[in-house]
């Protein structure tokens, strides 16, 4: 089945650092979504993007819907310890197709 | 304020047993989904439903069945449990596909031994 290429697979952060992750696809999507998952919980939506080129912020988080509609990135500025978790991108086709395609996730951990 | 509720939270099954994972949402969403999450693999769609009485297969439907008799409920049935079905299962719902966000339940961790 189709999957998104999400990178990096994991990264370590120090409090105050900026973080960047991205997703690419061989297919065009109509929607890009970014989720965060804490251990033992379901994914929680962070940002939803609906138009190519769209740049949207949610507090310290900023995400963009790529112009080609085949990629998206998520930036976290001035990271804090509670940013630790797994971040997933998801692409949606819309219309009669009801599902999202998920990336494999980026695991954010705190530097020892 | 419940959103999407899944039960049970944990379950251990023996090979060949059957069980039903329950999912209910109180947001009056038309679309509901079942995903499974394996370690390091993201989420894969098992089945989805666009409304009561209508269901369709996702990417990995083998070994599972679903029904949607009401807008609120979307149970997932495992008939003959196999070790390959050991996973974390998430139910989600959305108002419409793709253009609005999907809301997830807390998951059911299933182990088949």
pLDDT tens digits, B45-93? 999 998 999 999 998 999 999 999 999 999 999 999 999 999 999 999 9
State how far residue A88 is from chain B, nearest Cα, in angstroms: 8
Query: What pLDDT, in 10s, does the model give residues A17-47?
Result: 999 999 999 989 988 999 999 988 999 999 9
Query: Are the Cβ atoms of A99 and B58 closer than 8 angstroms?
Result: yes
Confidence of residue A54 (pLDDT cuts 50, 70, 90): very high
Per the model's pLDDT, the better-predicted residue between A89 and A112 turns out to be A89
pLDDT at B1 > cutoff 90: no
H/E stretch holding B65: strand B64-66
Query: Is residue A93 less than 8 Å (CB to CB) from chain B?
Result: yes
Would you call B108 an interface residue with chain A, using a CB distance cutoff of 8 Å? no
CA distance A15 to chain B (A): 25
Chain A residues inside the 8 Å CB shell of B60: 1
Residue among B92, B98, B100 minimizing CB distance to A93: B98
pLDDT (0 to 100) of residue B73: 97
How many CB pairs below 8 Å do chains A and B form together?
80
pLDDT at residue A92, rounded to an integer: 86
């Amino acid at each position: 089945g189709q999957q998104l290429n999400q990178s990096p697979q994991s990264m370590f952060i120090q409090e105050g650092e900026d973080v960047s992750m991205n997703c690419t696809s061989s297919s065009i999507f109509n929607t890009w979504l970014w989720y965060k998952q804490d251990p033992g919980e379901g994914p929680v939506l962070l940002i939803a993007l609906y138009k190519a080129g769209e740049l949207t912020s949610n507090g310290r988080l900023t995400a963009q819907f790529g112009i080609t509609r085949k990629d998206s990135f998520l930036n976290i500025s001035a990271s804090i310890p509670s940013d630790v978790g797994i971040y997933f991108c998801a692409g949606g086709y819309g219309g009669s197709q009801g599902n999202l395609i998920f990336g494999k996730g980026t695991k954010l951990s705190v530097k020892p | 304020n419940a959103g999407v509720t899944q039960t049970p939270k944990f379950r251990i099954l023996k090979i060949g047993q059957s069980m039903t994972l329950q999912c209910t949402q109180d947001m009056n969403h038309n679309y509901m989904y079942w995903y499974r999450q394996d370690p390091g693999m993201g989420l894969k769609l098992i089945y989805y439903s666009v409304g009561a009485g209508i269901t369709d297969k996702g990417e990995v439907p083998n070994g599972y069945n679903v029904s949607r008799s009401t807008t609120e409920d979307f149970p997932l049935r495992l008939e003959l449990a196999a070790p390959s079905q050991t996973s974390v299962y998430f139910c989600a719902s959305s108002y419409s596909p793709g253009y609005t966000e999907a809301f997830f339940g807390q998951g059911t961790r299933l182990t088949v031994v």
